[in-house]
């Protein structure tokens, strides 16, 4: 076996993204000072203690575990995360916020099991698809089982409801199915099914409906459901080419909802302008390039599927987040990976980076 080194450029890229994320979070959380009296230091410390700290530990462990071992843990891990997801509905542990049950709390410690599920599902899918080999092309042994597995996960996320995560998982899964060798016709069918499911969801969930309405017609009621989009656009647009400067966002005070959550990109774009947006987008695209480079150099199909799944998941979620903040995708409530506040998301993202790094060495 060739003994390669870790992809240092990839590692530096990830470090840059994490650093940029902390930087942006520090500034954006200032905006909360004037609101609920939330202490900004507590937000940053929480992100470090519950996200970055455990994330680095998970990263170091994952980067030392040979990626092939994940194949063996794939199913148990998937079932475990699936069960965790069910706990959300357990009234003593489940914790709802903003009308959605997405959190589990143990005492003062809360986390979002869907973050674990996302990665567990990708690992499982990579392992399953790679073991199917050419059966993937078959309708009965490839397409149908794939649909059923994805459907299970999807149903759970609809119940929470977490349509944004469902979207990210569904798209990533479909792309992995495509990468694994699925027929073009089947992929087309997947896209059709996805659109149909989305349509049904919009009909039965008024919350989702309103978001699509706003997406299609942003000027609808600027004080109501279109408020967040309008405010994020005002922030991003008023940033101009060079931005207002670090810490100088006005929108994060009082105007922009969720300045440290889904709207964090708007704060960033307001403070750093188009130059900053270009830099951050460039960073994500470079991450995509470098991640796919690792994937394409790896010899076995499990590594390729696992690696590409992780890279795609991160890029898709980030682009959907940014896209929704600038009004080219309906608002989803997805965090911007590496940047938004959210310990579980950061920790899991870091763990998956460890896996990718291990693939770069051993693949």
Partner 1 sequence: MKDNFVFRIRIIYILLFIFGSVILTRLFFVQVVRHDYYKELANQQYFASPAQYFDRGSIFFKDKNGQLISAAAIKEGFLLAINPKLIENPEEICDKLSQIIDLDKDLFFKSVDKKDDIYEEIAHKISRENGEEIKKLGLKGVNVYSERWRFYPGANLASRVLGFVGYNGDKLEGRYGLEKFYESVLGRGDEGEFIANSFAEIIMDIKKVISGTSLKGDIVLTIDPEAQNFLENSLQATLEKYEAEMAGGLVIDPRTGKILAMAVKPDFNPNYYGEEKDLSLFLNPITQNVFEMGSIMKPLTLAAALDQNKIIPETTYDDKGYVVLNNKRIENYDAKARGVVNMQEVLNQSLNTGAVFVMQKLGKEKFKEYIINYGLGEKTGIDLPDEITGLISNLDSGRDIEFATASFGQGIAVTPIEMAAALSTLANGGILMTPYVVEKIKPEEGIEKITEKNERRQVLKKETSEEISRMLVRVVDEALLGGIYKMEHYTVAAKTGTAQISGAREGGYSESEYTHTFFGYAPAFDARFLTFLFLSKPQGVRYASHSLTEPFMNITKFLLNYYQVPPDR
Question: Which residue ranges make up the site for partner 1 (CB under 8 A)?
Answer: 30, 33-34, 175, 178-179, 181, 222-223, 233-241, 247-248, 250-251, 253-255, 269, 273-274, 277-278, 281, 284-285, 288-289, 292, 295-296, 299, 301, 304, 308, 312, 315-316, 319, 322-323, 326-328
State the residue for tokens 């600038």: 326
**Cα(105)–Cα(101) distance, rounded to whole angstroms?**
11
Q: What long-range pairs does 5-9 form, CB within 8 A, spacing at least 24?
A: 5/361, 6/63, 6/357, 6/360, 6/361, 7/290, 7/293, 7/294, 7/357, 7/360, 7/361, 9/290
Tell me the closest approach of the beta carbon of residue 292 to partner 1, in angstroms.
Answer: 6
If the CB atoms of residues 29 and 81 are measured against partner 1, the closer one turns out to be 29
If the CB atoms of residues 40 and 80 are measured against partner 1, the closer one turns out to be 40
If the CB atoms of residues 203 and 241 are measured against partner 1, the closer one turns out to be 241
Q: What is the DSSP string of 213-282?
A: HHHH-TTS-TTTTTHHHHHHHHHHHHHTTT-S-TT--STTTTTSSSTTTTTHHHHHHHHHHHHHHHHHHH
Q: In what order do the strands lie in the sheet with 94-97?
A: 94-97, 100-106, 109-111
If the CB atoms of residues 100 and 135 are measured against partner 1, the closer one turns out to be 135
DSSP state of 137: G
Tell me the closest approach of the beta carbon of residue 363 to partner 1, in angstroms.
Answer: 12
Tell me the closest approach of the beta carbon of residue 60 to partner 1, in angstroms.
Answer: 28
**Cα(135)–Cα(299) distance, rounded to whole angstroms?**
20
Cα 319 from chain centre: 9
Tell me the closest approach of the beta carbon of residue 360 to partner 1, in angstroms.
Answer: 15
Question: Do 197 and 154 meet the contact criterion of CB atoms below 8 Å apart?
Answer: yes
**Cα(260)–Cα(268) distance, rounded to whole angstroms?**
10
Question: Do 355 and 62 meet the contact criterion of CB atoms below 8 Å apart?
Answer: yes
If the CB atoms of residues 48 and 250 are measured against partner 1, the closer one turns out to be 250
- CA dihedral (27, 31, 34, 38) positive or negative: negative
- CA dihedral (81, 295, 285, 338) positive or negative: positive
Tell me the closest approach of the beta carbon of residue 302 to partner 1, in angstroms.
Answer: 12
Tell me the closest approach of the beta carbon of residue 181 to partner 1, in angstroms.
Answer: 7
For the record, the structure tokens of 341 come out as 């506040």
If the CB atoms of residues 86 and 278 are measured against partner 1, the closer one turns out to be 278
Tell me the closest approach of the beta carbon of residue 179 to partner 1, in angstroms.
Answer: 5
If the CB atoms of residues 273 and 342 are measured against partner 1, the closer one turns out to be 273
If the CB atoms of residues 76 and 222 are measured against partner 1, the closer one turns out to be 222
Tell me the closest approach of the beta carbon of residue 103 to partner 1, in angstroms.
Answer: 29
Question: Do 102 and 158 meet the contact criterion of CB atoms below 8 Å apart?
Answer: no
If the CB atoms of residues 77 and 325 are measured against partner 1, the closer one turns out to be 325
If the CB atoms of residues 102 and 211 are measured against partner 1, the closer one turns out to be 211
Cα 360 from chain centre: 22
Tell me the closest approach of the beta carbon of residue 7 to partner 1, in angstroms.
Answer: 16
For the record, the structure tokens of 282 come out as 């460039």
Tell me the closest approach of the beta carbon of residue 26 to partner 1, in angstroms.
Answer: 12
**Cα(238)–Cα(236) distance, rounded to whole angstroms?**
6
């Amino acid at each position: 076996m060739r003994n390669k080194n870790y992809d240092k450029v990839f590692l530096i890229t990830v470090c840059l993204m994490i650093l940029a994320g902390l930087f942006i979070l520090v500034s954006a959380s200032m905006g909360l000072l004037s609101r609920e009296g939330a202490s900004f230091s507590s937000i940053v410390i929480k992100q470090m203690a519950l996200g970055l700290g455990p994330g680095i530990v998970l990263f170091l462990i994952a980067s030392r575990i040979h990626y092939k071992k994940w194949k063996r843990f794939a199913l148990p891990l998937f079932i475990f995360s699936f069960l965790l997801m069910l706990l959300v509905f357990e009234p003593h542990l489940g914790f709802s916020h903003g009308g959605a049950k997405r959190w589990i709390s143990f005492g003062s410690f809360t986390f979002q099991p869907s973050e674990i599920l996302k990665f567990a599902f990708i690992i499982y899918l990579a392992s399953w698809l790679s073991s199917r080999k050419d059966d993937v092309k078959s309708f009965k042994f490839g397409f149908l089982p794939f649909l059923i597995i994805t459907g299970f996960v999807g149903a759970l996320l609809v119940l929470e409801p977490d349509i944004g995560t469902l979207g990210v998982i569904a798209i990533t899964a479909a792309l992995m199915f495509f990468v694994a060798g699925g027929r073009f016709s089947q992929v087309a069918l997947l896209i059709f099914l996805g659109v149909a499911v989305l349509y049904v969801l919009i009909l039965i969930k008024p919350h989702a409906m309103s978001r699509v309405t706003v997406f299609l017609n942003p000027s609808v009621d600027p004080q109501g459901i279109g408020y967040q989009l309008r405010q994020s656009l005002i922030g991003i647009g008023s940033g101009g080419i060079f931005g207002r400067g670090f810490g100088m966002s006005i929108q994060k005070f009082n105007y922009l909802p969720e300045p440290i959550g889904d709207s964090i990109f708007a704060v960033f774009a307001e403070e750093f302008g188009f130059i900053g947006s270009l830099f951050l987008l460039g960073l994500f695209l470079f991450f995509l390039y470098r991640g796919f480079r690792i994937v394409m150099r790896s010899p076995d199909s499990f590594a390729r599927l696992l690696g590409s799944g992780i890279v795609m998941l991160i890029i898709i979620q980030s682009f959907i987040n940014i896209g929704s903040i600038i009004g080219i995708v309906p608002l989803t409530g997805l965090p911007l990976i590496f940047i938004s506040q959210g310990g579980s998301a950061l920790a899991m993202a870091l763990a998956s980076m460890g896996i990718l790094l291990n693939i770069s060495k051993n693949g």
